[in-house]
A and B are shown apart, each in its own frame.
Chain A
Amino acid sequence: MAVDDARALSARPGSDGRARGYDPARLIGDERLPCGRLVGDAWKQARAHPDDPDPHTARCAYCRQAVEGLAALDRATRTLRTQRPSARVVAQRVITAVRAEARLGRMVPLDDPGRDLRIAEVQAAKVLRGAADRIHGVRAASCRLTLHSDGLVVDVAMTLAATLELPLPERGTEVRRAVADAARQQLGLAVGRIDVTFVSILEPVAFPAAARRRTA
């Protein structure tokens, strides 16, 4: 198909006659959809069997959206073969769209029995890291969410840097309380375990409250 034809989107072919920088299929192929599948794999499946989607694609909204979008782009690319407007801009728009989707990462459920409300893990983790950052002398380094087998409760694992003005166990308790409050009051997540690991020491003067607010 036309999207796979690098020459169709190449403004300046390389020495081998093929595009070096603006082949969307090559550039986005290793981006992973929220369902875990590579965009390139979803596209290959759809291209091989356009009228008979594989079982995963048939029930996966992410793959279907990606394939429909790429198919629309493919049709437009065929038009471009004779017209050739700015290939760089076209490719950049496609890459930007795919990367914005990939940045969302996995989805985690909000605490609703209907199980049809969810939030991007990246955004939930950002809120929880912010809760830890607001504790004096603490800064969150990372935050991972792990979904229980019941599909509703999530465990939180956070790494932190902290000053040594207070004993670390007290700091850990404070962080867990703040994270639990944020999960419940700001997000509405059902949180199970909250594990915190201190991975580095902060100098006490390095993170006054005003500085932390500026860097949030």
Chain B
Amino acid sequence: MNHSDTSSVQHVAARAALAVPGVAELQPGLGQRLAGAATWVRRAVGAPSPSSPSSQGGVRADRVPGSAGWRLDVRCVLDRDRRALDVARDVRDQVRAAVVSHVSGDGSPEPVEVVVTVTRIIGPPPPDADAPAP
């Protein structure tokens, strides 16, 4: 049994996802964006903020109910130069490997389920088929 906390799991997952070629950035979910607004309010009123969401933005991690495993949702913004499916597969595999290693430690491996969502694709579109050669 290990005691990895949600924040550290999110951080490890975000780092692994951002290392995949073709991932431009991670896109925070609604909860994280709203919490970000609340964090800003806390700063505005001089109240302490529990944590910065910036290091884990775009990754949600939950314990699977009734099990020792984790479920992660990773929301990615991709560059256009790689096929979305290939990048998403790499993100899933890399995040799963990194989080399994992190949460298992010296104990028994914990199951990790990773869902990858492509929220945006950025970069210039391919050239027109009938465009003149440069």
Chain A residues proximal to chain B, CB less than 8 Å: 33, 61-62, 64-70, 72-73, 75-77, 79-80, 83, 85-86, 90, 93-94, 97-98, 100-101, 104, 107, 110-112, 114, 116-120, 123, 126-127, 130, 134-136, 185-189, 209-210, 212-213, 216
Contacts and interface: CB of A to CB of B under 8 A. Distances in A.
Contacts of A75: 38
B125 to A, nearest CB: 5
By secondary structure, the B interface counts as mixed
B84 A83 contact: no
Contact of A114 (B42, B47, B92, B127): B92
A188 B117 contact: no
Interface string B57-88: 00010100000000001000000100111101
Contacts of A186: 80, 83-84, 126
A104 B40 contact: no
Interface residues of B, number: 44
Contact of A188 (B29, B47, B86): B86
Contacts of A216: 125
A80 B46 CA distance: 11
A100 B34 CA distance: 11
Interface in B31-46: 31-38, 40-42, 44-45
B98 to A, nearest CB: 16
Interface in B4-40: 29-38, 40
B2 interface: no
Contacts of A77: 41
Nearest to B120: A123
B119 A123 contact: yes
By secondary structure, the A interface counts as helix
B131 interface: yes
B88 A112 contact: yes
Given A123-B121, A216-B125, A117 B30 contact: no
Contacts of B35: 68-69, 72-73
Nearest to B125: A130
